[in-house]
Structure 1
Amino acid sequence: MGKKQRPSPQGIRGVAVLPQGFEEIGCQELQALGAKQVTPLRRAASFEGDMACLYRLHLQSRLPFRLLREMARFRCDGRDSLHKGVQQALDWERWLHPSMSFRVDVTGNAPGLNHSHFTALQVKNALIDLQRALWGRRSSIDLDDPDLCLHVHVHRGEAVLSLDGSGGSLHRRGYRAAVGAAPLKENLAAGLIRLTGWDGTSPLTDPCCGSGTLLIEAAAMALQRFPGLHRNFLLESWADFEGKLWDSEQQRARTRQQPAQAAPQIIGYEQDHNIAQQARDNVSAAGLEDVITVFEGDFRDAPPPEQHRGVVVCNPPYGVRLGNSAELEKLYRELGEVLKNNYGGWDLWLLSGNRELTGSLRLKAKRRIPVSNGGLDCRWLHYELNRRSPDSSLRKD
């Protein structure tokens, strides 16, 4: 059958799949967690590390959608070379027994392999043919809950076969059973918070908090509550899984967690009763009910904050999925007025998918960072709100 390319316990190569516009800070996160040779790609970053690093990334990273561990590379200029390359890529007797289910995800193309579904079918057939020759029986395909998730990327005459360590998208933290009408993905929210430079020592407020995702990701970041500690991973059933090393990395992540008392004031406002309750349910599911306060009501009626510095984060409706133009123009105009009058000295970061609405704020952005939110071209806008005098919150008009 040819020589198998067996994975090495050292020098693991991998790819982190990232939200568009977050490649740079995604690389910074990978490096902070011990990854080496980190290189930004389009909506991704490549990296190298040992097995401990790979485990650490699964447990502690906040930004990736997926973490792919490269297992083999081989020539792929059509169906025949793909079939042969897949069969020789790994010691499949060790990695994929017929009692296990699997799934194949494909990106890229080659001559005669122009559709990802068709290419995935060829990969599946190659493995099933091999299993039948070895055991006389085959694995089943499970798209939702497989035992092994394979990823094949085909590009310029080469195929890269990788293992997906989670099987499902890492943006799903598990705390968000309840979401609003236009939810912000959890890893995107974490990336937005990271871009603000907020260090978790000053207060943070979201005047239109919706289901609370920005608040939850900010609080989790401030207290170093890591998203991977409360989920199961497919890597735990890999043939070369190292249980003691995995336990060690879990313990390492747990010891970094901070108590709720270490968090600054983190509050949100939501005037819709049902959505406010959703936010509270999500906060509770995340174990952050002692850290985050969600007020049911209009932020325009809220008293000015006592602190004279902090960060306001906001993902108001853009008019694409929610709201109508006249109502939204009024919302943005009054949001700008409240922030200028009551939050002087604070920094505002607002996710905008509509330049006309953003203009209604009557504020001048200091920085504009392009990001993609659910396929929408957006900007993460930074405003420095004029500093108010210390007694301004006591004045009456």
Structure 2
Amino acid sequence: MQAIAVLPQGLEEEGAKELSTLGAKAVRPLRRAAAFEADMACFYRLHLQARLPFRLLREIAQFPCQGPKELYSGVQSAFDWERWLHPSMSFRVDVTGSGPGLTHSHFTALQVKNALVDLQRQLWGERSDIDLQDPALCLHLHLSRDCAVLSLDGSAGSLHRRGYRAAVGAAPLKENLAAGLIKLSGWDGCVPLVDPLCGSGTLLIEAASMKLGLAPGIQRSFLMEGWADFNPQLWSEEQARAKQRERRDQSLPVIIGCDRDPSITTQAKTNVAEAGLDHVVGIQTCDFRDLELPKQPGVMVCNPPYGIRVGQDEDLTALYESLGQYAKQYASGWQLWLLNGNPSLSRSLQMKASRRIPVSNGGIECRWLNYAIR
């Protein structure tokens, strides 16, 4: 099948590498996505094991589309809807892109919906309900110039939700972005990992989960389990394969984080426990300036406030200055990776970044900054 992985902006190359590692073929990085080919076993595997995608879309049809009428007829003839969408099933339509006469996503989605329910009335005399939150089938339409691509979304909700993070603070870092940032940092699980401003603990949880081989999708259900061609035996085999990759008894170096706000560290500890990692990830309640680092040099990662959603610039300048002083005084020989969406604040570290990787965090243009601490 032809398919698309929707990815965080800035992680397209890392996402493509992950897809290839898990068996996808003909992988091509795109903007905020990667195109690939896969058989059904690989498609199931990606839902269970891929850490970086928001969504995995299975292409079912491409057709010319010069306007609403052509979209209507194209959708009706695009697929075996009699087999795939019975009136007892609810559905949802997501739209990206635009085309001639189809510049508003809500209007475009309405055209797709009308095409399908009108066809259902012809076949059965009744129609499906629309369910935006929990549909039985989720359709994705992408318009580009004069072409429409119709796909099935394997999951109604975003794949970044792992299920362990019931407790989050303000402006939380999405799990798939955190996983991608850890991959970009090059942390190999052989040296300590420290987050001095750990927030919900997401960076540490994702890092430990990756190194222990914990499949992010193993505990959740997916819409594709209700597809007309779903193969339960193949799905069970891929679930077993994912569980076989787990290395829960593997020894890891020190992985710790801290925050001075007890309510935040309580949230982080809850998330760590929900992820089954309380034996691996330690969370401390203290100011980072009081955090004792492991003697072996390692990697420090953090996502401090930018003054956009949390805090104000004048309040944060001192925080960044203190973080830079702490790193230079206590973390000689370490690598510091810091996600920043406000260049004036990162300058307050008074350190020179050796790498600046552009990424988007919730629509905020950021840089994943690397500092070699001397």
Normalised-by-shorter TM-score class: over 0.9
User: Are 2:93 and 1:104 equivalent residues in the alignment?
Assistant: yes
Once the two structures are TM-superposed, the CA of residue 326 in structure 1 deviates from its matched residue by 3.4
Contact 1:215 1:268 survives alignment (8 Å):
yes
Tell me, yes or no, if structure 1 residue 212 matches structure 2 residue 201: yes
Matches within 5 A, 1:131-170: 131-170=120-159
1:256 to 245, 253, 259: 245
Partner of 1:321: 309
| Counterpart in the other structure of 1:300 | 289
Aligned to 1:55: 44
SS in 1 for 2:217: helix
Q: 1:37 to 1:261 in 2, by over 3 A?
A: closer
Is the 8 Å Cα contact of residues 71 and 112 (structure 2) preserved in structure 1? yes
Equivalent in the alignment of 2:353: 365
How big is the shift at 1:325?
A: 2.8
User: Where do residues 27-46 of structure 1 align in structure 2 (5 Å cutoff)?
Assistant: 27-46=16-35
Secondary structure, counterpart of 1:344 in structure 2: coil
Who is 1:390 aligned against? none
2:218 match: secondary structure? helix
User: Residues 1-397 of structure 1: matches in 2 within 5 Å?
Assistant: 12-307=1-296, 309-386=297-374
The 2-side partners of 1:141 and 1:323 are apart by: 40
**TM-score, L = length of structure 2:** 0.98
TM-score, L = length of structure 1: 0.93
Higher mean C-alpha displacement, 335-344 vs 49-58: 335-344
Deviation readout 1:10-59 (Å, 9 max, x if unpaired):
xx100000111111111111111111111111111100011111011111
Q: Distance in 1 between matches of 2:59 and 2:45?
A: 17
Question: How many angstroms apart in 2 are the aligned matches of 1:285 and 1:356?
Answer: 37
Read off the aligned partner of 2:236 and give its amino acid letter: D
Percent identity between the two aligned chains: 65
After TM superposition, the structure 1 stretch with the greater mean CA deviation from structure 2, 159-168 or 262-271, is 262-271
Secondary structure of 1:338's counterpart equals: helix
* Secondary structure class of the residue paired with 2:3: strand
Distance 2:250 2:31 in 1: 39
Q: Could you list the runs of 5+ residues in structure 2 that have no partner in the other structure?
A: none
Contact 1:184 1:213 in 2 (8 A): yes
- Check whether the contact 2:160–2:175 (CA below 8 A) recurs between aligned residues: yes
Name the CA distance, whole Å, in 1 between partners of 2:77 and 2:254. 56
Q: Is the partner of 1:360 in helix, strand or coil? A: helix
Please give the per-residue CA displacement for 1:83-111, whole angstroms capped at 9, x wherever unaligned. Answer: 11111111111100111100001112222
CA distance in 1, matches of 2:151, 2:140: 5
- The one-character-per-residue Cα deviations of 1:305-350 (angstroms, maximum 9, x if unpaired) are 221x211001111111222333311111111111111111111100
Q: CA deviation at 1:261?
A: 4.2
Tell which structure's C-alpha radius of gyration is larger.
1
* Shift in alpha-carbon separation, 1:325–1:110, aligned structure 2, 3 A: closer
SS of aligned partner of 1:241: coil
Runs of 4+ in 1 over 3 A off after TM superposition: none
Any conservation in 2 of the 1:260–1:290 contact (CA below 8 Å)?
no
Q: CA deviation at 1:115?
A: 0.7
SS of 1:227's equivalent in the other structure is coil
The secondary structure found in structure 2 opposite 1:246 is helix
Return the alpha-carbon distance in structure 2 between the equivalents of residues 358 and 206 of structure 1. Answer: 17
**Other-structure match for 1:389:** none
Summarize the Cα distance change of 1:333–1:260 in structure 2 as closer, same or farther, 3 Å threshold.
farther
Aligned length: 374
Deviation larger for 257-266 or 86-95: 257-266
Distance in 2 (alpha carbons) for counterparts of 1:283 and 1:126: 46
- For 1:324 and 1:164, how far apart are their aligned partners in 2? 39
Partner Cα distance (2:30, 2:75) in 1:
25
What CA distance in whole angstroms lies between the structure 1 residues aligned with 2:25 and 2:156? 24
CA shift for structure 1 position 76: 1.0
CA distance in 2, matches of 1:97, 1:208: 50
The answer to whether the Cα contact below 8 Å between 1:34 and 1:53 also exists between their aligned partners in 2 is yes
RMSD (Å) for aligned C-alpha atoms: 1.0
Distance in structure 2 (CA, Å) of the matches to 1:260 and 1:141: 45
What displacement does 1:260 show? 4.3
